[in-house]
Amino acid sequence: MTPREVNVLLTNAALLDARLRREPEERAQMATAWAQILADVSLEVGMAALQQHYREETRPIMPADIAALADAVTPDRVRLADGSDWLTRHGVNPAEFQSRIDAGERPARVLRELGVSGDV
């Protein structure tokens, strides 16, 4: 997410959790810091993670919560990416994809960087 997208996320979080309400300047600084951590998470996935967090938790959400939940709420189109046929059909070299996953990268980020759109 970009700082602007994180600002949207934080604004929604503040509607659910008054502990996250901040003055505009502080919220902008917070969004910039969170964006550095959540750069490989889309706003759509971040919003789904936010909803999931507050369904199960009463503590304020943190960037680590979003990152941890992101894999759990990633759309099915990304979960299917472990199939080499699926990858090949979408123009992705399965060996390259697997090597990046083995190196610790997130599947959603790898797919995005390799040009697989979010609406596949």
Nearest C-alpha neighbor of 41 from the set 12, 9, 19: 9
User: In terms of domains, do 55 and 84 share one?
Assistant: no
User: In terms of domains, do 63 and 90 share one?
Assistant: no
Structure tokens at 106: 């997130």
pLDDT of residue 78 exceeding 70 = no
User: In terms of domains, do 35 and 47 share one?
Assistant: yes
User: In terms of domains, do 31 and 68 share one?
Assistant: yes
Q: Residue 82 — pLDDT band, cuts 50, 70, 90? A: very low
Contact 21, 14 (CB under 8 A): yes
Q: Residue 84 — pLDDT band, cuts 50, 70, 90? A: confident
Averaged confidence pLDDT in the chain: 83
User: In terms of domains, do 106 and 65 share one?
Assistant: no
pTM of the model: 0.62
Q: Do the domain assignments include residue 120?
A: no
User: In terms of domains, do 29 and 46 share one?
Assistant: yes
Q: Do the domain assignments include residue 119?
A: no
**Host domain of residue 67:** 3-73
User: In terms of domains, do 23 and 45 share one?
Assistant: yes
Nearest C-alpha neighbor of 44 from the set 23, 17, 24, 70: 70
pLDDT in tens, 22-72: 998 999 999 999 999 998 888 888 998 999 999 999 999 999 999 988 876
User: In terms of domains, do 9 and 68 share one?
Assistant: yes
Q: Residue 74 — pLDDT band, cuts 50, 70, 90? A: low
- Count of structural domains, the chain: 2
